[in-house]
């Protein structure tokens, strides 16, 4: 049989103090004499006592648990954002409960119900959207919601968005500035709000510039999809010389396809721009010019709002601008100081 955990009563008995004194000793800001505190800490150290934060939190109707609901945990961008969120939550004294989902509405709602069953204080959605009725249930029970890169928010939630369309628009101008004449838009069939925004911005800028471009969407948002997109784009008679990829993973696949399957030189024969600034984009084999998602700022803002906000009857919104990270996947003539192209 496993041993029972050491209790506050055990510490009190060994230290020769009351149970209430032990409670005050481990409560920030509570009054306890230095002599009593020293005896309690010595006894706690000897017994290996750990405060039951969950139990004490539930007394205050707070568990200290924040659910992170997301899909595709293995992708580099998702891993970066999860690392930033869990680190920010730990600094704030919170515990992250990561729930892995697929992209279906049913999976996301099941994840949220699971989070509710664990009395979580809040849920951060990196993937999918809960039904409005379920989100309202969370709000009535004091559970706050943060929605990252989603279409819309709910009353009492925080909607964290990126200027995705602006990045797509800028990509057109940057490729033109690099001397590209035949542009392409390469994306997946995921249809997430972020990808749709980048695609929309690219189309708008290309149309305004009077360009004739190629658009190809295929598969999941993955490196393998990039290889498939590369095979389709680079075997065309009207092969593009400048490609905007809506994620870095797909851009890396296209670069490898261009170099190793067709001997196409990057950036001499083909220029590329990606999005996300995953670690691989800076590898010597890629040196991909891309737009960086400010994951640390997104995480800090989300956690700050969870600690101080969440009482509004309307959805709050905060927007971040992707940061251009110029590298070597654009031909000479590209000006990294260009900030506002038409």
CATH code: domain of residue 19: 1.10.260.40
The yes-or-no verdict on residue 310 having pLDDT over 70 is no
In a domain, 223, yes or no: yes
219-243 pLDDT, tens per residue?
A: 999 999 999 999 999 999 999 999 9
The yes-or-no verdict on residue 295 having pLDDT over 70 is yes
Which residue did the predictor score with more confidence, 55 or 296?
296
The yes-or-no verdict on residue 78 having pLDDT over 50 is yes
The yes-or-no verdict on residue 131 having pLDDT over 70 is yes
* Number of domains making up the chain: 3
Output the pLDDT for position 339: 43
Distance in angstroms (rounded) separating the CA atoms of residues 111 and 255: 37
Can you tell me the mean pLDDT for 92-121? 81
Quick check: 125 and 146 in contact, CB under 8 A?
Answer: yes
- What residues make up the domain containing 273? 164-293
| Dihedral angle sign, alpha carbons of residues 70, 73, 76, 79 | positive
In a domain, 337, yes or no: no
The yes-or-no verdict on residue 341 having pLDDT over 50 is no
Residues 235 and 288 in one domain: yes
Phi and psi, residue 174, nearest 5°? -70, -40
Strand, coil or helix: what is 340?
coil
Give, in order, the Cα–Cα distances in Å from 48 to each of 6, 8, 44, 198, 223.
Answer: 7, 11, 6, 53, 48
Residue labelled with tokens 């004490």: 56
Total residue length of the chain: 342
Which of 315, 25, 10 is closest to 156 using CA atoms? 315
Residues 317 and 273 in one domain: no
The yes-or-no verdict on residue 135 having pLDDT over 50 is yes
In a domain, 332, yes or no: no
List the beta bridge partners of residue 215: 185
Residues 266 and 289 in one domain: yes
Output the pLDDT for position 330: 93
Q: Which residues contact 255 (CB under 8 A, 6 or more apart)?
A: 226, 230, 266, 272, 285, 286, 288, 329
Percentage of residues in the chain having pLDDT higher than 70: 89
Can you tell me the mean pLDDT for 196-202? 96
pTM over 0.85: no
């Amino acid at each position: 049989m496993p041993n029972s955990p050491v209790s506050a009563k055990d510490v009190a008995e060994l230290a020769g103090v009351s149970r209430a004194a032990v409670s005050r000793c481990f409560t920030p800001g509570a009054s306890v004499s230095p002599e009593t505190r020293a005896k309690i800490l010595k006894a706690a150290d000897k017994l290996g006592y750990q405060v039951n934060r969950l139990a004490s939190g539930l007394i205050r109707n707070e568990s200290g648990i924040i659910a992170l609901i997301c899909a595709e945990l293995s992708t580099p961008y998702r891993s970066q954002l999860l690392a930033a969120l869990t680190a920010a939550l730990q600094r704030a004294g919170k515990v992250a409960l990561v729930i892995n989902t697929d992209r279906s509405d049913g999976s996301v709602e099941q994840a949220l119900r699971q989070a509710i069953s664990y009395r979580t204080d809040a849920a951060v959605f990196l993937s999918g959207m809960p039904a409005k009725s379920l989100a309202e249930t969370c709000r009535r029970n004091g559970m706050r919601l943060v929605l990252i890169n989603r279409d819309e928010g709910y009353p009492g939630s925080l909607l964290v968005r990126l200027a995705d369309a602006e990045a797509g628009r800028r990509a057109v101008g940057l490729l033109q500035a690099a001397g590209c004449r035949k542009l392409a838009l390469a994306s997946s069939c995921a249809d997430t709000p972020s990808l749709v925004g980048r695609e929309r911005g690219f189309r708008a800028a290309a149309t305004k510039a009077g360009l004739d471009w190629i658009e190809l969407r295929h598969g999941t948002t993955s490196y393998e999809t990039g290889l498939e997109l590369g095979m389709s784009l680079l075997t065309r008679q009207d092969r593009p010389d400048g490609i905007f990829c809506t994620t870095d993973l797909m851009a890396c696949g296209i670069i490898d396809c261009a170099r190793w399957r067709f001997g196409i030189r990057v950036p001499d024969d083909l220029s590329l721009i990606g999005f996300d600034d995953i670690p691989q984009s800076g590898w010597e084999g890629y040196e991909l010019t891309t737009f960086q998602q400010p994951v640390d700022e997104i995480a800090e803002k989300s956690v700050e709002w969870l600690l101080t906000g969440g009482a509004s009857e309307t959805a709050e919104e905060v927007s971040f601008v992707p940061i251009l990270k110029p590298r070597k996947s654009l031909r000479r003539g590209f000006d990294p100081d260009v900030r506002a192209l038409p």
